[in-house]
């Protein structure tokens, strides 16, 4: 027994039983069948089929047994266990820990790459594009607010344009929205109604607009004009002008001002002339004189209602001769009477007013005396430059304080569009 344990050829003793190999193989096979779910029941040998017993013959003909068609087994769907059997729970193969770490790292790296790409697209493409689109919309909305303001702030056309701007998908589509055209149509319709309702009994209107001088704060200007001229401006201007123009009923005042001949447009203006009023400001300091003149008139379209020259503006010799001759055959008879006076214009006017001279004759002599005198001086290139004029101007009521305070610094000018007859003739001669 000891020899069997020790072995004869110095070999280790074989303590395994003879049936151990078969048992181990069966166990491994059974474990594989459990993992793969292919475990089968042990096959049984079919037993001997018993012979059918002989049947007794009866008078009737024996019917042959009919064989029933075999039933088809139910189709087995993939992934589902056969009916009647619980699904087998196979053992999932375990992934190594290193592979798990590699897989998790790859997933995290992919997520980071996706986040970086999405962030780059958002900040480099999407956000700048949206900013450009919003800037285009803001620009168009500001343009709409600049044109549709004041009485047209609630115009239905404004809401339609804003909806069109908001629905734009690209900056080009937004910037292509037309704002000026619809705004011009709306303003022309509104300003035409204002002209018809605001004109006075002289068929005039006053146009109020704002002017900015040298980048300073805007200043309000007023122009009195005929209703037909105002309508012409409305028909020709667009919304950039019409939106900043207000039509009002003229509220004017006749203001007398005493100015020199230089200030009174050289004395070449007459009753009914349309003049513009400019301000000439002389600033003196550090032994220097700086003249500041504005490019736009302070008052536009003022009307000259009357103009008077000082009484020392000259003298006149008035001579009136009356004669009567009677001739009978060879006899002649004559009678003459002459009235002659030499005085200045003021004295002659006083004599006419006192009834010392014929009013009709004085009127014929002195009719348009001042205008004729200025015309003669202009034609002769010789005139009295030191003459003083009293001019009565019709201006808006709000401009009266300006005229009174700056009487010594204003200058009257004659716009060529409203030039007197003599100026029109001269322009035709010069320019053909």
What pLDDT is recorded for position 289?
47
What pLDDT is recorded for position 259?
92
What pLDDT is recorded for position 14?
55
- Please list, in sequence order, all residues whose beta carbon lies within 8 angstroms of the beta carbon of residue 220, skipping any fewer than 6 positions away: 208, 209, 210, 211
CA 212 to chain centre: 20
Q: What's the chain look like in SS3?
A: CHHHHHCCCCCCCCCCCCCHHHHHHHHHHHHHHHHHCCCCCCCCCCCCCCCCCCCCCCCCCCCCCCCCCCCCCCCCCCCCCCCCCCCCCCCCCCCCHHHHHHHHHHHHHHHHHHHHHHHHHHHHHHHHHHHHHHHHHHHHHHHHHHHCCHHHCCCHHHHHHHHHHHCCCCHHHHHCCCCHHHHHHHHHHHHHHHHHHHCCCCCEEEEEEEEECCCCCEEEEEEEEEHHHHHHHHHHCCHHHHCCEEEECCCEEEEEEEEECCCCHHHCCCCCCEEEEEEEEEEEECCEEEEEECCCCCEEEEEEEEEEECCCCCEEEEEEEEEEEEEECCEEEEEEEEEEEEEEHHHHHHHHHCCCCCHHHHHHHHCCHHHHHHHHHHHHCCCCCCCEEEEEEEEEHHHHHHHHHCCCCEEEECCHHHCCHHHHHHHHHHHC
pLDDT band at residue 119, thresholds of 50, 70 and 90? confident
Instruction: State the average pLDDT over residues 95-113.
Output: 85
Is residue 207 classed exposed, middle or buried when 0-12, 13-18 and 19+ CB atoms within 10 A define those classes?
A: buried
Taking the C-alpha atoms of residue 54 and residue 62, their distance in angstroms, rounded to an integer, is 12
**Residue bearing the bigger pLDDT, 228 or 343:** 228
pLDDT band at residue 123, thresholds of 50, 70 and 90? confident
Instruction: State the average pLDDT over residues 123-133.
Output: 87
pLDDT band at residue 98, thresholds of 50, 70 and 90? confident
Taking the C-alpha atoms of residue 42 and residue 148, their distance in angstroms, rounded to an integer, is 96
The string of pLDDT tens digits covering residues 329-387 is: 555 555 555 555 455 566 666 666 666 666 676 676 666 666 677 777 777 777 778 88
The string of pLDDT tens digits covering residues 270-322 is: 888 889 999 987 644 445 444 455 677 888 889 999 988 776 655 555 555 55
Taking the C-alpha atoms of residue 260 and residue 277, their distance in angstroms, rounded to an integer, is 14
Query: What does the mean pLDDT of the chain come to?
Result: 75
The string of pLDDT tens digits covering residues 146-181 is: 999 989 999 999 999 999 999 988 999 999 999 999
Residue 141 in this model has a pLDDT that exceeds 90:
yes
Minimum mean pLDDT range among 127-141, 178-192, 310-324, 409-423: 310-324
What pLDDT is recorded for position 7?
52
* pTM of the complete model: 0.57
Report which of 268, 239, 244 is spatially closest to residue 373, judged by C-alpha positions. Answer: 268
Residue 53 in this model has a pLDDT that exceeds 90:
no
CA 194 to chain centre: 23
345-353 and 359-366 helices cross at what angle (nearest 10)? 150
Taking the C-alpha atoms of residue 282 and residue 152, their distance in angstroms, rounded to an integer, is 43
Q: What are phi and psi of 98, to 5 degrees?
A: -65, -40
Report which of 317, 320, 290, 313 is spatially closest to residue 385, judged by C-alpha positions. Answer: 313
Residue pointed to by tokens 């002289």: 202
Minimum mean pLDDT range among 209-213, 220-224, 383-387: 209-213
How is residue 123 written in tokens? 């900040």
Taken as a whole, the chain contains a residue count of 432
Residue 395 in this model has a pLDDT that exceeds 60:
yes
The string of pLDDT tens digits covering residues 20-46 is: 555 555 665 665 566 555 555 555 555
């Amino acid at each position: 027994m000891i020899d069997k344990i020790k072995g004869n050829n110095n070999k280790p003793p074989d303590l395994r039983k003879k049936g151990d190999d078969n048992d181990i193989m069966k166990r491994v096979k059974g474990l594989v069948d459990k993992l793969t779910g292919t475990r089968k029941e042990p096959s049984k040998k079919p037993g001997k089929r018993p012979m059918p017993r002989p049947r007794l013959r009866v008078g009737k003909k024996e019917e042959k047994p009919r064989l029933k068609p075999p039933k088809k087994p139910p189709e087995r769907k993939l992934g589902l266990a056969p009916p009647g059997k619980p699904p087998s729970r196979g053992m999932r193969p375990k992934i190594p820990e290193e592979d798990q770490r590699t897989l998790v790292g790859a997933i995290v790296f992919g997520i980071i790459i996706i986040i970086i790409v999405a962030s780059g697209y958002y900040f480099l493409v999407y956000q700048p594009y949206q900013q450009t689109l919003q800037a285009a919309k803001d620009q168009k909305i500001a343009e709409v607010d600049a044109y549709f303001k004041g009485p047209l702030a609630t115009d239905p056309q404004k809401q339609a344009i804003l909806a069109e701007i908001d629905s734009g998908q690209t900056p080009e589509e937004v910037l292509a929205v037309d704002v000026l055209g619809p705004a011009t149509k709306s303003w022309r319709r509104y300003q035409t109604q204002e002209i018809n309702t605001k004109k006075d009994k002289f068929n005039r209107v006053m146009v109020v607009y704002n002017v900015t001088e040298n980048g300073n704060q805007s200043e309000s200007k007023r122009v009195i004009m005929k209703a037909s001229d105002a309508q012409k401006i409305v028909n020709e201007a667009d919304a950039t002008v019409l939106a900043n123009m207000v039509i009002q009923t003229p509220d004017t005042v006749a203001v007398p001002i005493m100015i020199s001949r230089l200030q009174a447009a050289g004395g070449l203006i007459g009753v009914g002339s349309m003049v513009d009023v400019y301000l000439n400001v002389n600033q003196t300091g550090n032994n220097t004189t700086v003249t500041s003149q504005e490019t736009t008139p302070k008052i536009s379209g003022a009307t000259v209602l009357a103009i008077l020259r000082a009484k020392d503006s000259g003298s006149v010799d008035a001579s009136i001769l009356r004669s009567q001759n009677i001739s009978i055959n060879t006899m002649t008879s004559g009678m003459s009477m002459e009235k002659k006076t030499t005085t200045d214009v003021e004295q002659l006017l006083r004599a006419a007013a006192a009834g010392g001279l014929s009013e009709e004759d004085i009127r014929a002599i002195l009719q348009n005396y001042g205008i004729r005198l200025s015309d003669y001086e202009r034609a002769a290139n010789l005139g009295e430059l030191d003459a003083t004029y009293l001019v009565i101007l019709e201006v808006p009521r709000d401009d009266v304080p300006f005229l009174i305070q700056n009487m010594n610094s204003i200058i009257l000018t004659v716009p060529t569009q409203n030039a007197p007859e003599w100026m029109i003739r001269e322009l035709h001669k010069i320019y053909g």
